[in-house]
């Protein structure tokens, strides 16, 4: 801050406090902020809800208007909060100072140029619209497919390499590629807005939510702690998929082609479980068929999740939740299907938006989203400014902590989704851990690298002409996954992932993966479970529930190490519980893989095509030779007969 800025600020403080006879005390200001913030946040949330559950031009315009009103309110409150913080004559409590600091930290709403603020809101809206409406036409005679459920199911069910490759590229052509210029402008406007608050760039602002100046270094250390486990999983999956698709589609660099992992972004590999299941004659803990057999509905799936939380001492969902949530995809309108939980900043109004399907994976997703809602409901008595997770990863981790317990064979038997007579031995145990690893361990590098890329973009290290190149450099390096077709500078593959156009920071998911195993182990210890960590089910245990609620009720009123200590007794994130959970699988994979693991850091220059021309000609040549030989033998036989 320059001397001129300091002088202006001092004069503002003097005028504000000396000549305003109606000046509020800091306590009065915080009370007024609470009332007004709830009203405007509810208006904004309602507009956002309508925009995402009914994509129309009118609803999009209404959301832009609501966002501008929210920004104007935030700007006014930010100015007042800073005056209190900068006045040394006011004796603020530690809690008041924390609240005022959070009120003053308004992010991109700090932009005072109305035209730029409107443009920024419109760009985010336009990118979200491109993503939500994108569809891929694989065949002129077939119906075009949206991401969910069409393309998602295709990537799950098809094993035709060419079709998978076409769907993979088509989605990126119709989503990310169309928004590259918008994203470039969004970066510029976002950086400019947060720089008003003193941040270097948007990445610097996002990282500030963790109140940890060494966040980048900390997550890098955590990733290295987990990396050996991921490398072994990658090697095993690569070898098993070669048996399915043929080694000819795999580059010699050791990477796995991105389109054959059962997921549009290769971020989790659960959909290829049947191909990499270690012991084929033993059961896997996927209860989709049993759910169908028992006539599970969407409502019953949500009630199952509700009952688990209730068994730990949490409240049931509110009447408003059941009335206002969107739990299935509507047939009469376009919606954003990406599952999400909503705190509407209004008494008893908590919702989930999800296009639910009756299957094992969605049952776990429901527990995840309901974890968000229970977090929101637990800290609802706190001031609104504290009604967030202790850090962004905490919010994501809570529901997944519950899901770790729900997915155990012990629990699935307890609720009747696995039969009591089903045998369970060491091989079945490895199958279970493999299934869990395909969901969580496989996701670790992707959840780590998305914001590595965005932080680089926000800093200006990665320019628009290099967006895609750097994106794939990171994916090849950390994930060991490579594109199935040649990528070019005009492509914008990061935009094909929801969280990029939706402006959602992503490192929270990596942090969440580490935290959920820490939380899970702490809950198991509280429940008195002394068996292998991956067998622990703390269902109906009040001590585990109390431990969890004591952390959640803090919201963001305290720095996250305080909340973590409340739950685990530790003040630092630690990946050791995750490593402990998967230790039996890790030993199995090392034995199976031997020295066959790893990949080069650089992407392959030319992705191998789905069809192997040389191999096809060899087959044709061999067939022709065999046919000719058979003809000669037959001729000789006939001559001999005559």
- Three-state SS string over 286-320 comes to CCHHHHHHCCCCHHHHHHHHHHHHHHCCCCCCCHH
The residue that leads in pLDDT, 628 or 463, is 463
Nearest to 259 by CA among 367, 342, 365, 171: 171
pLDDT at 629 over 50: no
Are the beta carbons of 571 and 564 closer than 8 angstroms?
yes
**Average model confidence (pLDDT) for the chain?**
88
Task: Report, as an integer, the average pLDDT of 518-526.
Answer: 96
Are the beta carbons of 271 and 156 closer than 8 angstroms?
yes
pLDDT at 141 over 70: no
As annotated, the binding site for Zn(2+) includes 368, 372, 396
Residue 449: which residues within 8 A CB-CB, separation 6 or more?
Answer: 474, 475, 478, 479
pTM recorded for the entire structure? 0.84
Classify each residue of 357-371 as buried b or exposed e, where b means 16 or more C-beta atoms within 10 Å of its C-beta. bbbbebbbbbbbbbb
Instruction: Read off the pLDDT of residues 417-476 as tens digits, 9 standing for 90 and up.
Output: 987 656 678 888 999 999 999 999 999 999 999 999 999 999 999 999 999 999 999 999
Q: Is 153 annotated as catalytic?
A: no
- What are residue 388's phi and psi, to 5 degrees? -145, 170
Task: Give alpha helix (H) positions in 112-201.
Answer: 114-133, 152-157, 161-174, 180-195
pLDDT at 349 over 50: yes
Looking at residue 255, what is its pLDDT? 96
**Rounded distance between C-alpha atoms, residue 371 and residue 394, angstroms:** 10
Q: Of 78, 231, 306, 369, which residue is the catalytic one?
A: 369
Looking at residue 619, what is its pLDDT? 34
**Rounded distance between C-alpha atoms, residue 74 and residue 72, angstroms:** 5
As annotated, the binding site includes 210, 368, 372, 396, 508
**Rounded distance between C-alpha atoms, residue 638 and residue 632, angstroms:** 10
Q: Is the peptide bond before 149 cis (omega within 30 degrees of 0)?
A: yes
Q: Is 541 exposed, middle or buried (0-12, 13-18, 19+ CB in 10 A)?
A: buried
Q: Is 565 annotated as catalytic?
A: no
Task: Name the band, by pLDDT with cuts 50, 70 and 90, for residue 342.
Answer: very high
**Rounded distance between C-alpha atoms, residue 176 and residue 170, angstroms:** 10
3-state secondary structure of 387: coil
Q: Of 499, 535, 565, 580, which residue is the catalytic one?
A: 499
- What are residue 135's phi and psi, to 5 degrees? -145, 155
Are the beta carbons of 131 and 175 closer than 8 angstroms?
yes
Looking at residue 562, what is its pLDDT? 95
């Amino acid at each position: 801050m320059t001397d001129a800025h300091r002088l202006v600020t001092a004069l503002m403080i003097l005028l504000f406090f000396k000549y305003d006879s109606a000046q509020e005390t800091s306590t009065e200001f915080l009370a007024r902020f609470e009332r007004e913030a709830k009203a405007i946040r509810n208006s904004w949330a309602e507009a956002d809800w309508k925009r995402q559950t009914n994509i129309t031009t009118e609803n999009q315009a209404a959301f832009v208007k609501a966002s501008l009103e929210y920004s104007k309110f935030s700007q006014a409150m930010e100015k007042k909060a800073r005056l209190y913080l900068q006045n040394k004559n006011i004796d603020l409590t530690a809690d008041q100072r924390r609240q005022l600091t959070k009120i003053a930290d308004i992010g991109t709403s700090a932009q005072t140029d109305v035209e730029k603020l409107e443009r920024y809101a419109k760009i985010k809206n336009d990118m979200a619209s491109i993503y939500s409406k994108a569809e891929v036409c694989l065949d002129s005679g077939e119906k075009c497919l949206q991401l969910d459920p069409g393309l998602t199911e295709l990537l799950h069910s098809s094993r035709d390499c060419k079709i998978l490759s076409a769907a993979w590229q088509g989605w990126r052509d119709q989503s990310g590629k169309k928004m590259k210029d918008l994203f470039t402008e969004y970066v510029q406007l976002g950086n400019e807005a947060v720089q008003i608050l003193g941040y270097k760039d948007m990445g610097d602002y996002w990282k500030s939510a963790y109140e940890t100046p060494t966040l980048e270094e900390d997550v890098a250390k955590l990733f290295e702690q987990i990396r050996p486990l991921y490398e072994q999983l990658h090697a095993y999956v690569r070898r098993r998929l070669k048996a399915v698709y043929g080694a000819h589609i795999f580059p010699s660099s050791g990477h796995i082609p991105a389109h054959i992992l059962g997921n549009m972004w290769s971020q989790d590999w659960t959909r290829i479980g049947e191909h990499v299941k270690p012991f084929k004659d033993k059961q896997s803990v996927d209860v989709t068929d049993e759910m169908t057999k028992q006539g599970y509905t969407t409502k019953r799936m949500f009630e199952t999740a509700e009952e688990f939380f209730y068994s730990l001492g949490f409240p049931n969902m509110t009447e408003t939740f059941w009335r206002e949530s969107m739990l299935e995809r509507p047939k009469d309108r376009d919606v954003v299907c990406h599952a999400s939980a909503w705190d509407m900043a209004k008494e008893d109004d908590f919702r989930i938006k999800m296009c639910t399907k009756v299957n094992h994976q969605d049952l776990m997703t429901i527990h995840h989203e309901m974890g968000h809602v229970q977090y929101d409901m637990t800290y609802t008595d706190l001031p609104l400014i504290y009604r967030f997770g202790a850090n962004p990863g905490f919010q994501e981790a809570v529901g997944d902590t519950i899901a770790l317990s729900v997915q155990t064979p012990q629990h699935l038997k307890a609720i009747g989704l696995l039969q009591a007579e089903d045998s369970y031995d060491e091989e079945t145990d490895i199958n279970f851990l493999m299934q869990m690893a395909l969901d969580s361990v496989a996701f670790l590098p992707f959840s780590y690298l998305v914001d590595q890329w965005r932080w680089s973009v926000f800093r200006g290290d990665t320019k628009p002409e290099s967006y895609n190149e750097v994106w794939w450099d990171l994916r090849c390096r950390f994930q060991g996954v490579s594109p199935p077709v040649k990528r070019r500078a005009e492509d914008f593959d990061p935009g094909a992932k929801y969280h990029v156009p939706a402006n959602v920071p992503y490192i929270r998911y990596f942090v969440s993966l580490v935290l959920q195993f820490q939380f899970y182990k702490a809950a198991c210890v509280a429940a008195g479970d002394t068996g292998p960590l991956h067998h622990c089910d703390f269902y109906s245990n009040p001590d585990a529930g109390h431990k969890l609620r004591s952390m959640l009720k803090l919201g963001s009123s305290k720095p996250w190490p305080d909340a973590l200590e409340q739950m685990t007794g530790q003040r630092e994130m630690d990946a050791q519980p995750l490593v402990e959970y998967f230790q039996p699988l890790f030993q199995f994979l090392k034995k199976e893989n031997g020295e066959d693991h790893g990949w080069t850091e650089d992407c392959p220059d030319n992705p191998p095509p789905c069809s192997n021309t040389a191999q096809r000609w060899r087959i044709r040549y061999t067939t022709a030779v065999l046919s000719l030989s058979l003809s000669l033998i037959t001729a000789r036989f006939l001559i001999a007969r005559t």
